[in-house]
Amino acid sequence: MKLLLTSGGVTNPSIEAELVRLLGKPVAESHALVIPTAQWGHPMCGPESVRGVVAADADSEHLTGRGWASLGVLELTALPSIGADRWVPWVRGADVLLVDGGDATYLCHWMRESGLADLLPSLPDTVWVGVSAGSMVMTPRIGRDFVAWAAAPDDRTLGVVDFSIFPHLNAFPSNTPERAQRWAAEIGGPAYAIDEQTAIVVVDGSVEVVSEGEWTAFGAPGSGGSTSAGGAFTTR
């Protein structure tokens, strides 16, 4: 699977160009499924925000509202009750999975429960576009302050990549460079703090940062804008 891990989605020409490169064709010729599941696990989200991303409204221009050839909904909480023989062909037929934000531990839980996590290794050409928690779910840990789902056992997530992500750098009063630095110290492994104009691209184990904004690497290859970090963080 090809990963485009963002904080705010496809927000600038550099990230858009990378998306098209990963797809191997224009967005207008690409078939997408949106996964809104993470929203249900976060107290800041609810029916109206889920409807917005599913309907590709004006606030979703950086994810679902980009003029896809087709846009369908893949709600992970429904998949165990309908059987893999129905939903697996839907996923295999998609060019891209658009994975919205919310709570990453809740999303991780349902990726495992639904069977989607087990399917990912068999999708080498599919593009995963994550926004916030939709990106963080691919990391080993998100840090305890990013856990908003009350039933989460801990802050561990899928570990598809070997680095963690602090999203929304400077986008919210709580997501400061100083707090990012403290968060990184808690994580204790490779990590990136990224703003809304930054994406991390992972293909075949190769990691590249694409940015028109600010980002910082903590114990990870590369370096970027200035930050530091710790406290309660916004992931949506």
What is the predicted pLDDT for the residue at 230?
Answer: 35
What is the predicted pLDDT for the residue at 225?
Answer: 44
pTM of the predicted structure, to 2 decimals:
0.93
The partner residues of 180 in beta bridges, in order of sequence, read 229
Average pLDDT over the chain reads: 93
DSSP-H helix ranges across 169-208? 177-187
Displacement of CA 200 from its chain's centroid (Å): 10
List of residues 6+ apart from 196 with CB closer than 8 A: 7, 8, 11, 168, 171, 213
Query: Residue 214: which pLDDT band, with cuts at 50, 70 and 90?
Result: very high
Which one, of 10, 14, 64, 56, lies nearest residue 196 by Cα?
Answer: 10
Q: What is the pLDDT of residues 139-165, one digit of tens each?
A: 999 999 999 999 999 999 999 999 999
What is the predicted pLDDT for the residue at 155?
Answer: 98
Residue 163 near residue 193 (C-beta atoms within 8 A): no
CATH topology of domain 2-163: Rossmann fold (3.40.50)
What residue spans define the domains of the chain? 2-163
What is the C-alpha separation between 82 and 79, in angstroms, rounded?
5
Q: Would the pLDDT of 80 be above 70?
A: yes
Q: What is the pLDDT of residues 14-31, one digit of tens each?
A: 999 999 999 999 999 999
Query: Residue 123: which pLDDT band, with cuts at 50, 70 and 90?
Result: very high
Q: How many CB atoms lie within 10 A of CB 178?
A: 12
Mean pLDDT of 94-116: 98
- Pick 221 or 40 by higher pLDDT: 40
